[in-house]
Amino acid sequence: MEQHVHASGHEHVTAEHTSTFELTSDDWLTPAGDCILGIEADTVPAEFDDEFVSACQSHDATITVTLRADGHEHVIEGRGHPDLTFENMRGMVGRTSDYVDDRTVAVDCDAAAADLDRDLVEALAEGADLECILSVDA
């Protein structure tokens, strides 16, 4: 089961955050947003398919996040959690910790923004389109 999100890179994408990565539907980004990989996301967690959300609400669920931009790709593996709500209307966050709030789409991820392929990050900083595919194996 998959959810597809498309977003845009931005000149302030630095991907320096060591414990999270984020996509936002906001149309702006400040230099302080060092976890944000893309803006103007066309889908937010509150719009995700109910069946997808249910599948993610298990400790046994494996959630794979594939990020693609300008010919570059990075795959992040995380897991689900019973407290995931997918209720946020603005952004989605993957976390290396097990912290959950309404923006969280995966916990215990094996990578954060700072771990991403630097060629991918450079493409995003130059404004490349970002394709994010979330898949769940429950």
Give per-residue pLDDT as tens, 97-118: 999 999 999 999 999 999 999 9
Listed in sequence order, the residues at least 6 apart from 47 whose beta carbon sits closer than 8 Å to its beta carbon are none
The CATH classification number of 2-137 equals 2.60.120.630
Domain range summary for the chain, segments of one domain joined by +: 2-137
Query: Residue 94 in contact with residue 66, Cβ under 8 Å?
Result: no
126 vs 133: CA distance, rounded Å: 21
Q: Which of 80, 44, 48, 70 is nearest to 131 (CA)?
A: 70
Q: What separation in angstroms does the CA of 96 have from each of 8, 20, 27, 133, 134?
A: 23, 6, 26, 18, 16
38-88, pLDDT tens digit by residue? 999 999 999 999 999 999 999 999 999 999 999 999 999 999 999 999 999
